[in-house]
Structure 1
C-alpha cells in the first residue's frame, strides 16, 4: 500500500484544526487502518505545567514586559551580596555544583606491561611517549573527558572497547574518582538572577525597565512532598525606574492573575521579610477564585537599596514572584504537585472512552476488496440469521487474483440457526469493564451509560473471514472460517491494547465477551 505523504500532511492540517475545536477524538490519516495503528493520531495534550507557563508568557508579553533569561548558575559570593546576614540560611537550601577532578595518571613499567598484555603486542617508544602526552593533555584540560577514549584508541591503534578495558584494568585512578564541590550554585530564587541582569542593564537601557522570566529554580529540600519539589518554575518580573513604587506590584498582580479567572484581590504583609526586600514592603497576594475562594498566589516587594547598591543599581526596583506549580495546582484542582508534574510515575485513570479506543480488531482487511467482502459476509449473515440449518447462503461471487471465488455463509447442522445467539452482541465499556452484551433489557444500563466500541461479534468474525478468504484465494485455495463459543477476545478476532489491559487488571475490572457465536464462512474456488 502506497502512503501519500503530501496527502497525509494536508489531512493532518485539516484534522488538527478541526480537533482544536471539537476535542481530542482519534483522527485517522489517509491509508491508516487497524493494521497500521501507528498512523492514527490524536490531538496531543500539553503538560499542565507548560500550559500554565505558556499562558503566563502570553499575559506578560501582552502587559508590555520583555522576556529575559537570567543566569542559572550563581556564585556563592553573589548570595552573600544579595541576602546579607540571611545568606547562610539560604545557602543551606541551594545545590552546589561539583565535578570530577582530573587524575594525574602515571605510567611505569608495570602499567606498560599490563597494556601490552591487553593489546597482545609490544608498544614502541614513540607510542609510549604519545600515551604520556595524551594523559598529560587530559590532566591539563587540553583534551576533554569525552574525547579521551578516542584519543587513546588512536595512540594505541586499538578499538574503543579495548581502550575502555585498559582504562578500567590499568588505571584505577579513573575508577576511584570522587566529585569535588565548587563555589558555584544552582539558582534557588529568581531574584539571584535579577540582581545580575539589572546590574548590567539599568544604565544602558531606557527606563522604566520591564522584564519577566519564567524558568527553573532549584531548592535542596529535606524531602519532596505534595506541595514542594526540589526543582520548580518561577514566573518572576521586575520593574525598574525612577518613579516605581509598591503600587506597581499591586497593579501587575491584578493584571497578571485576572487572566487565570481570579476576580478580587487582597494584599497582606509577608511575615517572612526577606532581607533583599525593603522593610515592610514584602507583600503576599491573595486572590479570590470563583471555585476555590481565597488562595495565596504570589509575593512582591521593593528590592532593598543596600542590596541594589551591591550591584550599582541606582533606581528603585519592584519584583514579583509567582510559583508556576502553585498556580497549576489551583488551575487543575490538584492536591499533589508530584502527580501534577510527573504523572508518568503515578497510576493514571482511564475513562471508558479511552478504554473503548483501545479495543480493536486483531485482523482486518487492508484492501478495498477485502473491506467489501467483509461487509457482504456481515450483511448476508444478518439478513438470514434466524434461518434453520442445514442451510447455505451465497454472500459474494467474483474474481480474486485471477480466480473465480464464491463465498458462503453456512450452517451444516440441523436444529440450529445460521447465526448463534451472540452474533449481534456489541462490545461496550462500562465502569472500566469490557463487556459484550446483546440489546436486551438486562443490559440496558450498560448500553445507555457505557461507551460503545462500535464492534459487534459479527463484524469482528466477518473481518477475519475476509482476511483468510483473500489470503487463501491468492494461493488458489478455498478455506473455511468458524467462530464457535467465545470465551476470550481472541476467539472473536478482538484485541485490547496492552496499556488498557494493564489498567483493567490493575483495577480489578473484567473483560467478559463470552457467548455462543457459531458462525461459519466458507470460500470455494471455481473452475
Structure 2
C-alpha cells in the first residue's frame, strides 16, 4: 500500500487544528466577585514540550500509526550489531548504567564491641549470628539495599537512626563504595529500540507495519546549549513492508510538518550517513526558525539490510526521527531549548494582568455581616467624602456576637474633609509597576493602558475597618480604625504576593501607593442581648 501525501496532510491537519484551536477556558471560582475580573482563573497550562508531544501523538494516530513503547535500556552488544565498526564512536555519546557493588562486610570482635558500645549493651550470641546472616544476605542479594537498615534494626532491637549511625561508624565499607559501570546503556536514539521491537514482532503482525513512539532519549553531549540537551524527546516512527521505499519518509515528514502549519521546509542529504541506514537514503528535514533560521527537526532513511539481518528482519523498513524540543522551539518561537524545557530555572516575565492578580487585600472580613459592614462603610464615606469636619455619619447598625454595634465614619478636625484626597485612588499595574493613581489627566495613560485591580484605597481601608470592628465587638469593646498617610501597601491594607513582588524587585520596577488617606472609622457597643 502506497502513502498518499495529500490524504496524510488533510487528515493530520484536521486533527491538529481541532486540538490547537481549543482556547483556554476562563473559570470563576465561588467567592470571586465580578468586581475583580483579573482574579478569574484560566485553565491550567500544559508544559510546552508535552503539548507538542500530545499533538504529535494525535497526528500520528490520525495518520494510521499504532503507538509503541521501545526499550530504554539497550545492551552495548546491540550498538555493535547496529553500527558495526562505528560502534565505538557512537558509544562515546551514550550513558552507561552503573551501580554500587555490595560490599563483603566482615564482623570481627572489634566491630561487635563497637556496636555494643553504641547500643550501650552487650550482644547475645544469637544476635551476633543473626547480624552476620543479615549482612551475608545483603551481599548475596536476598536482602535489598533499601531494606537493610530495617532488617538490621530488627536484629539489633534498635531504631533506624541508631542503625544508620552504626553503619557509618562501624562499617566504613558502606561509606567508601564507588559505582561500577555495566555494559547496559541508556537509549541514545530511538533506532536502537526499533531494531529490538521489530525483530521480535515483524513476523507476527500483518504488513505493512506502521508504528510510532514518542519518548526520551539520552545523549552524552559535551555541553548543553541553546539547541541541545542531554535528554530529549524523539518522535520516531517506522514503516515496514514489502513495498516500502524512501518516498514513505518524505510523505510522513511532510504530513507531520504540515499538520503544525509549516510549509517552509526542505529535505537535504545527511552527510553523517549512519551505518544502520542504506547508503544515500539518510535525509535531513529542515524547518525555518524565527531566530536560528533553518533548523533540523527530523531525519529519515531506509534501514540497512545488513543491520536488519542482525535481528532477522526480512522486509524493508523506513525510519523517521523527529526532535520534539526543536519542533517546540519553532512552534513557541523560543530561542533557547533550555529555557523552554526548564522554565523554572530561568526568571519568568509577568504580564501586567498577572501582577494585578497578585495584588489583594491584606485582611478582609470572612463573614456576611463583615462584608455588609465593609460595603456600608465604603458607600457612606464615598457619599459624604467632601463633608467638612468635624462631622460624623452613621454607616451601619447590626448585631455581632449578641451585641448591638453601630459604625460611624467621621472626621474630628476642622478645615478638613471626611475623606482624604487619596481615598479614591485606584490600584493599577502599568509596565510592571504597581501604582495607586487618582482619576485625573496626569494619570490618564496609566488608567487607559494599565490593568486595574478594581481596588481603591477606600475599598481596602473599609475592609480593614470591618475586620477590626468585628474582632473588637466579640470582646465587647469599641474600636477606632484610622488610616493616615499611606507610604507602603500595608498602610492601606494591601499585599502583593511574594512571586509578583520578587519579579517587581528583580526588574527594578516600583510600587508606589503613597497618598493622604485620612479616614477614621469608629464603632460603639450596646448592651448584650440576653
TM class, shorter-length: over 0.9
Q: Distance in 2 between matches of 1:213 and 1:177?
A: 38
Cα offset for 1:356? 0.5
Matched-pair contact (CA < 8 Å) for 2:266–2:285: yes
1:222 and 2:222 equivalent? yes
Give the aligned partner of residue 296 of structure 1.
Answer: 296
- SS of residue in 2 equivalent to 1:166: helix
1:163-202 correspondence runs (5 A): 163-202=163-202
Q: Gapped runs of 5+ residues in structure 2?
A: 1-20, 34-38
Matched-pair contact (CA < 8 Å) for 1:407–1:521: yes
Cα offset for 1:269? 1.0
Greater CA deviation, 451-460 or 261-270?
A: 261-270
Give the aligned partner of residue 419 of structure 2.
Answer: 419
Change (3 A) 1:128 1:41: farther
Q: Distance in 2 between matches of 1:441 and 1:259?
A: 50
Cα offset for 1:472? 1.5
- SS of residue in 2 equivalent to 1:495: strand
Change (3 A) 1:524 1:21: farther
Cα offset for 1:73? 0.3
1:8-407 correspondence runs (5 A): 23=24, 27-31=27-31, 42-287=42-287, 295-407=295-407
Cα offset for 1:267? 2.0
Deviations 1:115-170 (A, max 9, x none): 11111111111111111111111101011000111111111111111111111111
Using structure 2 for the length normalisation, give the TM-score. Answer: 0.92
Q: Distance in 2 between matches of 1:184 and 1:482?
A: 72
Q: Distance in 2 between matches of 1:226 and 1:264?
A: 22
Matched-pair contact (CA < 8 Å) for 2:289–2:330: no
Q: Gapped runs of 5+ residues in structure 1?
A: 1-19, 34-38
Matched-pair contact (CA < 8 Å) for 1:262–1:290: no
Matched-pair contact (CA < 8 Å) for 1:261–1:290: no
Change (3 A) 1:335 1:288: closer
Cα offset for 1:474? 1.8
- SS of residue in 1 equivalent to 2:204: coil
Q: Distance in 1 between matches of 2:22 and 2:365?
A: 32
Q: Distance in 2 between matches of 1:290 and 1:128?
A: 71
Greater CA deviation, 251-260 or 181-190?
A: 251-260
- SS of residue in 1 equivalent to 2:150: helix
Cα offset for 1:455? 0.3
Deviations 1:4-29 (A, max 9, x none): xxxxxxxxxxxxxxxx977465x453
Q: Distance in 2 between matches of 1:73 and 1:356?
A: 48
Cα offset for 1:298? 1.2
Matched-pair contact (CA < 8 Å) for 1:351–1:432: yes
Deviations 1:406-429 (A, max 9, x none): 111100000000000000000001
Q: Distance in 1 between matches of 2:270 and 2:526?
A: 90
Give the aligned partner of residue 440 of structure 2.
Answer: 440
Q: How many corresponding residue pairs?
A: 502
Matched-pair contact (CA < 8 Å) for 1:400–1:473: yes
Q: Distance in 1 between matches of 2:140 and 2:291?
A: 62
Q: Distance in 2 between matches of 1:358 and 1:316?
A: 59
Matched-pair contact (CA < 8 Å) for 2:202–2:313: yes
Matched-pair contact (CA < 8 Å) for 2:300–2:321: yes
Change (3 A) 1:290 1:494: closer
Of structures 1 and 2, the one scoring higher in RCO (CA 8 A, sep 6+) is 2
Cα offset for 1:32? 6.8
Matched-pair contact (CA < 8 Å) for 1:262–1:289: no
